[in-house]
Structure 1
Amino acid sequence: MGERPLPEGRYGRSSDRRTPQRVRIALLVAGVLVGGVLAFVGYRNLGTTPIEGKQTAYEILGNDAVKISFEVARDQPERPAVCIVRARSKDGDEVGRREVLIPPSESTVIESAVIKTSRPAITGVVFGCSYQVPEYLSSTTRPSG
C-alpha cells in the first residue's frame, strides 16, 4: 500500500521546509545564555549568605520588654554589621523592634539585646543582619533629642 497525500485544502500545505541551521544554532545559543543568566541570578539570590543572625534564646522580662540572645556568623569579621531584632505578640504582630550594632570581632559572635514592647510579647526573633550599618549606629556621638 502506498502512502496517500493529504488533501491540500483541508489540512493546509505540507511543509517540507526545515528551519535553517543558522536559526537553530542561534536559538540554542540564546537558550544557553538565558539559562546561564538564570543560574547566576539564582546563585546570587539563593546562595550562601555573607552574614546571618540566628536566635539562640529569649526571655520575657514583663509586659513591656523581651531579652533576646542571638548568634551572628559572617564572612567578613573585620567589618561592623547591624542586626534587626524584634518582639512578636501572640497574634504574630510586631510589638517591638531594635537595631543592634555588631562591632568587628570574631567571625561568629553571641549578642543579646533588650527590646522594649508596646504590648505583651511571647517571643523575640532576629529579623535580619546586614553590613549596611546606619550612620547613627556607627558614630560615637549619639543623636540628641
Structure 2
Amino acid sequence: MSSTLPPGRYSSTTKPARSRRSMAWVAGAVVVLVGVIVAVVAYQKFAKSEIDAEITSFEIVDDSTLDLTLKVTREDPSREAVCIVRARSKDGSETGRREVVVPSGDDQTVLITTPVPTSRPPGMGDLYGCSFDVPEYLTTH
C-alpha cells in the first residue's frame, strides 16, 4: 500500500513559508507602529515646555477676593504670555477666574501677584495654564 495521497484531494496541514514570512512582517510593522505612537505621546507629555508656571502662594483677602502669586519661567522672555489662574472654594468648585498677562522683558523668570474676584468665599487658588497666544483684548498695543 502506498502512503502518498492523491494531489488536490486533501488540504495541506502545513502553511507555506511565504504566509509565515508575511505574518512576521505584519507583526513587526505593528510593533514599530505602536512604538512610534508611545514615543510621540511620551514626548508631548514629558518634553520641556516653552512656558513653565506654578502658584507659589495665595492669600485669602476677604470673602470675595483671593490674591495669587505665580512664578512664570519662559524660554523666550521677549515674548508676552498669558496665564489663566482661578480661585476655588473649600468644596473644590471654581468660584473665580482671571487671565493674567505676563509682559515681555529681560528676565526668564518673573513673579506676578494678582487679585482674583470670587463669587463665593475662596479656599485656594490654582493655575489653569499658560500660553504665548495672548488674546488681542489683553494686549496693550
TM above 0.5, yes or no, is: yes
Query: For 1:54-113, what per-residue CA distance to the aligned partner results, in whole angstroms no more than 9, with x for missing partners?
Result: 011111110110101110012222211000111110110111110000011221111110
Work out the CA distance in 2 between the residues paired with 1:34 and 1:139.
47
- Give the corresponding residue for 2:99: 99
Contact 1:52 1:128 in 2 (8 A): no
- Give the corresponding residue for 2:41: 41
- Give the corresponding residue for 2:75: 75
Alignment of 1:88 onto 2:83: no
Q: How does 1:1-145 map to 2 (within 5 A)?
A: 14-18=13-17, 19-105=19-105, 106-140=107-141
Q: Give the letter aligned to residue 127 of structure 1.
A: Y
Q: How far is 1:33 from its partner? A: 3.5
SS at match of 2:60: strand
Q: How far is 1:16 from its partner? A: 4.9
- Give the corresponding residue for 1:3: none
Work out the CA distance in 2 between the residues paired with 1:73 and 1:81.
10
Q: Which runs of 5+ in 2 are unaligned?
A: 1-11
Q: Structure 2 length as normaliser, TM-score?
A: 0.79
Q: What stretches of structure 1 move > 4 A for 4+ residues in a row?
A: none
Q: Give the letter aligned to residue 131 of structure 1.
A: F
Work out the CA distance in 1 between the residues paired with 2:134 and 2:140.
10
Q: Give the letter aligned to residue 14 of structure 2.
A: S
Contact 1:97 1:116 in 2 (8 A): yes
Q: Which runs of 5+ in 1 are unaligned?
A: 1-12, 141-145
SS at match of 1:133: coil
Q: How far is 1:37 from its partner? A: 3.5
- Give the corresponding residue for 2:4: none
SS at match of 1:48: coil
CA RMSD of aligned residues (A): 2.2
